[in-house]
Amino acid sequence: MTLQNLKNKVNISAAGYGHKNIQIVFRGKKYNSTTTNTLATDRVNSDDDRKIKGLYYENIKEAYLSLYNECKRANNLRWCNTPQSKTT
């Protein structure tokens, strides 16, 4: 998934002190979750997209992907998009 796809699928808004609401679009439906992952939300809101070694999220794409996966986990959605293997 590209950074532009993630930006289109993930919306972040304030929910309260230290909390953010995450809304994602997964397979055409919208799902919501609340996060306290300020490392990821601060990196997403950063204008600096340089890859910086030593940071927990080295670039913005990693932060978006972390929030996207966190919302999927909170809503009990499948982790991967790979089809199930068929048994014969």
Structure tokens at 2: 């590209």
| Percent of the chain surpassing pLDDT 70 | 89
Residue 29 bridge partners (DSSP): 26
Q: Count of CB atoms within 10 A of residue 83's CB?
A: 6
Residue 48 neighbours by CB distance under 10 Å: 8
**pLDDT digit string (tens) for 63-82?**
999 999 999 999 999 755 54
In this predicted structure, what is the pLDDT of residue 81?
52
Cα(23)–Cα(21) distance, rounded to whole angstroms?
7
